[in-house]
Amino acid sequence: MAITMGLHHQQPITISGCKTAPRHRRPRPIAVRSSSSGAGVMKGQMKLTYLEINSWLWEVGGARILVDPILAGNLDFGAPWLFDAAKKRLKNLGVQDLLLQTEGGLDLLLITQSLDDHCHARTLAQLAAAAPALPVVTTPNARPVLAALPTPFRDVTYLEPGQSTTTACNGVRILATPGPVLGPPWQRPENGYIIDDQRGLVVYYEPHCVYDRSFLESKGLRADVVITPVVKQLLPANFTLVAGQEDAVQLATLLRARYVVPMCNGDVDAKGLLTGVLATQGTVDAFKAMLAEALPEAQVLDPTPGVPLHLDPTPPNIS
């Protein structure tokens, strides 16, 4: 499938090359189920598979989207003496394994941030060598990492917050939203994303639970599914590395979420000096209790790493 992309300025970008034309959006109720099956996803459905840390494989509107992959060794930020984290369940899942298991191949690589826990250089080097034509949508902050890959990706779109891209393959729209600022306050924020399949399923994803409330309000954004951390990760002096708890409740309420999928991006086998000063605050159960009070109609869906979570806008008839 030939796919071309360009940088969005005044109009949304179009990713071309799909034979299926977009359909008009018709919001409908969602049915949820979990399955270990590798079956594909019908148009208008969604499948979310958590790959641990910040990594996901999504099937949205017929498009297979790999998100913030870590599939080549541990997460160590280039300094394993300081921090060295291994996945607990999917330790042996590598780039080639994922490509072999993904029927029909990947359609898009989505990167939220420029640091190694999202833009994992070893994984990206292997992925680019195996699939250099794979389209990439990412924050401009990741440009130096992508430019340094031995084999570069040939098709990269850099989205600033507020810019969007729409795939011709079933009209999946990706809107970049402001995420955390990892540096001085004048630095460009990293990205979160709104993923809209244009048929009634909208996902919001930002892996630090850091968001610009005024941006989301001014755009009138909402999401059926919010994927976010719910347990805080703290450094000394109560410096918040990853937000959650009441911040996640406020986010879900702001976006009027029907479903919240908690990320457990701090649930790793870790060693190194930094592990002695990292702390967590709150629990998934505490988050559920707060959410039930603030947004009682919302449901929390706990993902199991490697097990697809299916969302279907047309629930089956139950006799």
Burial class, 252, CB count within 10 angstroms (exposed 0-12 / middle 13-18 / buried 19+): buried
Q: pLDDT at position 316, please?
A: 42
- How high is the mean pLDDT in each 10-residue block of the chain (319 residues)? 30 38 35 47 76 93 92 81 83 92 86 93 96 94 97 96 82 93 85 89 94 96 95 84 92 96 79 82 95 96 94 53
* Other C-beta atoms lying within 10 Å of the C-beta of residue 25: 16
> What pLDDT does residue 185 have?
81
Which pLDDT score, from 0 to 100, does residue 172 have? 85
Residues 5, 7, 11, 12, CA torsion sign: positive
Question: What pLDDT score was predicted for residue 148?
Answer: 97
Contact 71, 49 (CB under 8 A): no
Domain architecture of the chain: domains with CATH: 46-305 (3.60.15.10)
What pTM, to 2 d.p., does this model score? 0.84
Give first-to-last CA distance, the chain, whole Å: 42
Contacts of 26 (CB under 8 A, 6+ apart): 199, 200
Q: Is 185 exposed, middle or buried (0-12, 13-18, 19+ CB in 10 A)?
A: exposed
